[in-house]
Amino acid sequence: MSKYFIKIKEKEIPVIIRNYKNTDSIKIYFKGNILNISKSKYLSKKKMLEILKQYEEKIYEQYMQIISKENKKIKHWYTGEKISYKGEDYSIDMEYTNKKRIKITLDECNKIFSIEVPEVLNNEENKEVIDKYVKKFLSVKTIEYLNVKVPYWSEKMQISYNEFKVGDAISKYGSCIPSKRRLHFSNRIIMLPEDKIDAIIVHELSHITYANHSSNFYNLVQKYIPNYFEIDKWLKKNVNRVMI
């Protein structure tokens, strides 16, 4: 398997190539925003590029559609955009002030996520700087929640842990190092419904007892979260809820 980029018009499109012995065909498809090519190991790179040339317009069109969809998932911090907090949609309220620092507050009654931004910040800087403050805000709220819920589930399950850490991860909601009895959680999980957060905590605590995903592991998880597989399916389907 090899990875590189092809340029079509103004776009550098990431490509992964997989070579197989027992095939005479070539398959071209997108997985996420990466163009995947499965081909015979005997098909030269030059010939492969000639084939791709025939499909440039279609590849470019599909790539732009994918990028457009991804951009819609990402927050741009406009007033009226929605952000999830504990599974509920909050309306973002952006306000430019003469203050020197960004300030974020929650109005849980009216479901408003307020962001005060110094007027001196220009548009180009806005997103990156606000992203940083929102992630910090979510980290604080996630830690507050986990400080209550991790000890609760630990006692209920009779599984002890040494510590938990919170980081800015999106590819995983949580992970566990069983040998160190250490749990790791994404600061994004506070954006999820509380029953989903509990399922993630139970999942990672269960790994202290069973390091793999065996039937014994899932039996333990389902002992405390009977609808775990339903929740797991929901988490995979709704990953866009934790996009920033």
| Per-residue CA distances from 20 to 24, 26, 106, 240 (Å) | 9, 10, 53, 34
| Residue pLDDT tens, the chain, 244 long | 666 788 898 888 989 898 888 888 899 999 878 899 999 989 988 898 899 999 999 999 998 888 777 666 778 888 999 999 999 999 999 998 888 889 999 999 999 999 999 987 766 568 888 999 999 999 999 999 999 999 999 999 999 999 999 999 877 899 999 999 999 999 999 999 999 999 999 999 999 999 999 999 999 999 999 999 999 999 988 888 888 8
- Counting every residue written for the chain, the total comes to 244
- Cα dihedral sign for 30, 31, 33, 37? negative
For tokens 């790539």, the residue is 63
Q: Where are the domains of the chain?
A: 2-73, 140-242
Fold topology of 140-242: Zincin-like (3.30.2010)
DSSP secondary-structure letter at 173? S
Q: From start to end of 50-197, where are the E strands? A: 82-85, 88-97, 103-107, 112-118, 163-167, 174-177, 182-186
- For 76, residues 6+ apart whose C-beta sits below 8 A from its C-beta are 127
Rounded to an integer, what is the distance from CA 70 to the centroid of its chain?
A: 12
Q: By the 8 A CB rule, do 171 and 185 touch?
A: no
